[in-house]
Amino acid sequence: MIIVTRKGVTADELDHIRERIEAVGLRTHVSCGAHRTIIGCIGDEHRLQHVPLLSIPGVEAVHAVLKPYKLASTDFAAEPTRIAVGEVEIGGREVVTIAGPCSVESREMLECTATRVRRSGARALRGGAFKPRSSPYSFQGLGEQGLEILAEVRDQTGLPIVTEVMDTRQVDLVAGYADVLQIGARNMQNFALLTEVGRLRRPVLLKRGMSATVDDLLLAAEYVMSQGNPHVILCERGIRTFGTSTRNTFDLAAIPVLKRETHLPVIADPSHAGGRRHLVAPLSYAAIAAGADGLLVEVHPDPETATSDGDQSLDFEEFDALMSALRPFAEAAGRTMA
Q: CB of residue 85 vs a second copy: minimum separation in angstroms?
A: 24
Angle between helices 191-198 and 214-226 (to 10 degrees): 40
Paired residues of 63 in beta bridges: 2
The only residue of 150, 267, 283, 297 in contact with a second copy, by rule CB under 8 A = 283
Torsion of CA 253, 255, 257, 260, to 10 degrees: -150
Q: CB of residue 104 vs a second copy: minimum separation in angstroms?
A: 15
Please enumerate in sequence order all residues whose Cβ is within 8 A of that of 159, keeping only pairs 6 or more positions apart, or say none: 86, 114, 117, 118, 122, 123, 124, 125, 153
* Binding to a second copy in span 156-215, by CB under 8 A: 166-170, 186-187, 189-193, 195, 209-211, 213-215
Answer yes or no whether residue 151 interacts with a second copy by CB under 8 A.
no
Q: CB of residue 284 vs a second copy: minimum separation in angstroms?
A: 9
Q: CB of residue 292 vs a second copy: minimum separation in angstroms?
A: 10
Q: CB of residue 314 vs a second copy: minimum separation in angstroms?
A: 10
Q: CB of residue 7 vs a second copy: minimum separation in angstroms?
A: 5
Please enumerate in sequence order all residues whose Cβ is within 8 A of that of 244, keeping only pairs 6 or more positions apart, or say none: none
Number of residues that bind a second copy (CB under 8 A): 113
Q: Rounded to the nearest 5°, which phi and psi values hold at 144?
A: -60, -35
Q: For a second copy, which stretch binds (CB under 8 A), given 93-101, 108-116, 174-182, 253-261? A: 253-261
Any idea what DSSP says for residue 6? P
The only residue of 48, 88, 161, 288 in contact with a second copy, by rule CB under 8 A = 288
Answer yes or no whether residue 254 interacts with a second copy by CB under 8 A.
yes
Q: Strands 2-5 and 59-63: what pairing?
A: antiparallel
Between 157 and 190, name the residue whose CB sits nearer to a second copy. Answer: 190
Between 155 and 245, name the residue whose CB sits nearer to a second copy. Answer: 245
Interface pattern 27-46 for a second copy (x via CB under 8 A)? --x-x-xxxx-x-x-xxxxx
One-character DSSP codes across 112-137? HHHHHHHHHT--EEE-BSS---SSTT
Q: CB of residue 156 vs a second copy: minimum separation in angstroms?
A: 27
Q: Rounded to the nearest 5°, which phi and psi values hold at 132?
A: -80, 120
Interface pattern 81-120 for a second copy (x via CB under 8 A)? ----------------------------------------
Between 192 and 201, name the residue whose CB sits nearer to a second copy. Answer: 192
Query: How far from the centroid of its chain's Cα atoms is residue 105's Cα?
Result: 25
How many CB atoms within 10 Å of residue 52? 9
DSSP helix/strand/coil, 21: helix
Q: For a second copy, which stretch binds (CB under 8 A), given 68-76, 89-97, 106-114, 150-158? A: 68-76
Between 32 and 156, name the residue whose CB sits nearer to a second copy. Answer: 32
Q: Rounded to the nearest 5°, which phi and psi values hold at 13?
A: -60, -45
Interface pattern 211-240 for a second copy (x via CB under 8 A)? x-xxxx--x--xx--xx-----------xx
Interface pattern 303-332 for a second copy (x via CB under 8 A)? xx-xxxxxxxx-----------x--xx-xx
Answer yes or no whether residue 63 interacts with a second copy by CB under 8 A.
yes
DSSP helix/strand/coil, 87: coil
Q: Are 171 and 181 in contact (CB under 8 A)?
A: yes
- CA atoms of 160 and 87, how far apart (whole Å): 8
Task: Give kind and range of the element (H or E) at residue 228.
Answer: none
Answer yes or no whether residue 68 interacts with a second copy by CB under 8 A.
yes
The only residue of 13, 75, 94, 148 in contact with a second copy, by rule CB under 8 A = 75
